[in-house]
Structure 1
Amino acid sequence: MRSVRPIRARSAMNVLAALLLLGTPVSADVIDLRADAWCPFNCDPASDQPGYMVEVAQEALALFGHEVRYTSMTWSRSLSQALSGDITGVIGTDQEESPDLILGPPMGNYQEAVVFRAGEARSIATAEDLEGIRIGAILDYEYNTVIAAYVAENARNPERVQMIGGDDALKRNLQKLKAGRIDMAIDERSVVTYMIDQLGLQDDLQVANYGEATELHIGFSPALEASALYAQQLTEGVAQLKASGRYGEILKRYGLTE
């Protein structure tokens, strides 16, 4: 979701010097991060492109001697284990969704988007705008305002809302949308666009923004004493990567810019 990165290939003396410059004690830990696949934020852990938030976290926290291990897990279980302290944290959450987690710096934006078959897009402002269409939603995901209420109310009615789970849920929803089995899918815009490109459905599907954008973070467990330090170190490490230009280089690998 591994090739050697320039910043991780530095000698031990250079890493130590960076740590001393940042004024933080050297303490090498294994930081265990989880999330369900959500490219380009976090992707296949076995890929040479595990996701830009994964790569940024790995390189930023390597400055402090830490090793970031990322594994794919369902979103609900990832959140549950982060809250309990069974894992160190999760990738790709926000303050509203995870008020109890200790958040690192903003590392992207969540822009909810709705997807229709080409030529069938409609504006969604009220529940009435959703009448007559079958929505493909994902288990344990939170959606914005009108859509959230509609999904919650009709989650057991497959003629209105079809709920699925798993790492390939968005892929299956987009395939169902193209095949006419649902009429609308929902997810984050960057994730939707990335998956549509991967599936070659650019001419078949149409994407529109829905709701306001929010900042995305890596969230650390409130049950672990070191979490506040990890969040601080991630903030400082990301700043170092941005200053050196490395942050932009990682984004470019995923077709993104700062």
Structure 2
Amino acid sequence: MAPVSGVETLMRGISFFVILAVAVSFAVFFRAPDAIAADESAVVRVAADPWCPYNCNPGDAKPGFLIEIGREAFAMSGYEMRYEVMPWSRALRESYVGNVDAAVGATRATAPEHLFGSNMLSSDETIVFVRVGEIFDFTGVDSLKALRLGVIKDYTYDDNGPIDSYIAENRGNLDRVITVSSHSNLGLLFRMLLAGRIDAFLENRHVGTYMASALNVRDSIALVPTGALDFVSFAFTPNARGEMLVDAFDAGVTRLRETGRFEEILIRYGLNSLPE
């Protein structure tokens, strides 16, 4: 047999690595369907519009205390939670039909047909935000009639109480209620308020003040309490998977509370006084 030349040896080596690379590619891209399904079932997809400090932007060092609590709670049951941003009305719709597993920061009134666990995660106090120097006292919904009031589509501000009823009744009257729906609802409302396009808007106390500080306009706004208080958590898809995720979520949150980790996360956001 003729001796093998150096070129032939090199070509055989190259051929071997090409075959190995092809084999690895087939192993990665042509896995069994059951293995792929198993991987996906361990992923919990949640969504919301930015509502800092509850849920902020996915890539932030501090993505929001609800996001941190959710990730750690689900991890205890072997799940990986992935958070994505979308308009709030879409987050409610997508989580209801199961395209994502949950909407983050929902109240029972906002998502009445979704599933909720026994652990509500935080308070939601509704405040009227006005420009500094504007004279306004909230004495009930009738006092809102003097305002061009900004609101966010599909938000609830007092658990379907008098404020929500007032908004529903006046939604078509642009002299009283102006509705927004975007990827940055709150930023838009601040711009409209400071530009004089609206007289006031409704928002959660913590969310509004957090955004005002981020926009460096805290000294330009004043806060007027309404007395409306609710509680928020994750709203899950109403199906069998949703029921399973509720159980995992509740177990994880309970454990976080027992170990003190729940409070540690809140402290990172300066919100350690929030009720259970």
Aligned residues: 231
Counterpart CA distance in 1 for 2:135 and 2:218 is: 14
Determine the structure 1 residue equivalent to 2:30: none
Determine the structure 1 residue equivalent to 2:271: 256
1:75 to 85, 88, 95: 88
SS of the residue 1:190 aligns to: helix
2:109 to 72, 96, 101: 96
Report the residue type matching 2:258 in the other structure. Answer: A
Report the residue type matching 1:109 in the other structure. Answer: S
Gaps of 5+ in 2: 1-39
Q: Runs of 4+ in structure 1 displaced over 4 angstroms? A: none
Counterpart CA distance in 1 for 2:219 and 2:102 is: 37
Determine the structure 1 residue equivalent to 2:256: 241
2:234 to 194, 209, 218: 218
Report the residue type matching 1:43 in the other structure. Answer: C
With normalisation by structure 1, the TM-score equals: 0.82
Alpha-carbon distance change, 102 to 196 in structure 1, aligned in 2, over 3 angstroms: same
| 8 A Cα contact 1:113 1:187, kept in partner | yes
The percent of aligned pairs where both chains have the same amino acid is: 33
Report the residue type matching 2:237 in the other structure. Answer: S
| 8 A Cα contact 2:110 2:155, kept in partner | no
User: Which residues in structure 2 correspond to 1:34-183 (within 5 Å)?
Assistant: 34-104=47-117, 105-144=119-158, 145-183=161-199
With normalisation by structure 2, the TM-score equals: 0.77
1:46-105 deviations in whole A, cap 9, x for unaligned? Answer: 212111101111011101110001101111111112211221111111222222211131
SS of the residue 1:236 aligns to: helix
1:188-213 deviations in whole A, cap 9, x for unaligned? Answer: 11111111111122211111222331
Determine the structure 1 residue equivalent to 2:23: none
Report the residue type matching 1:141 in the other structure. Answer: Y
Structure of higher CA gyration radius: 2
Counterpart CA distance in 2 for 1:63 and 1:127 is: 44
Alpha-carbon distance change, 242 to 79 in structure 1, aligned in 2, over 3 angstroms: same
SS of the residue 2:227 aligns to: coil
| 8 A Cα contact 1:39 1:51, kept in partner | yes
Counterpart CA distance in 1 for 2:41 and 2:184 is: 34
Counterpart CA distance in 2 for 1:110 and 1:250 is: 18
Higher relative helix content? 2
Determine the structure 1 residue equivalent to 2:6: none
| 8 A Cα contact 1:102 1:220, kept in partner | yes
Gaps of 5+ in 1: 1-26
SS of the residue 2:83 aligns to: strand
Counterpart CA distance in 2 for 1:161 and 1:114 is: 13
1:118-163 deviations in whole A, cap 9, x for unaligned? Answer: 2324222344312332111222222334433333233233332222
Determine the structure 1 residue equivalent to 2:10: none
Report the residue type matching 2:107 in the other structure. Answer: D
1:206-237 deviations in whole A, cap 9, x for unaligned? Answer: 112223311111111112x1222221221221
| 8 A Cα contact 1:28 1:65, kept in partner | no
RMSD: 2.0
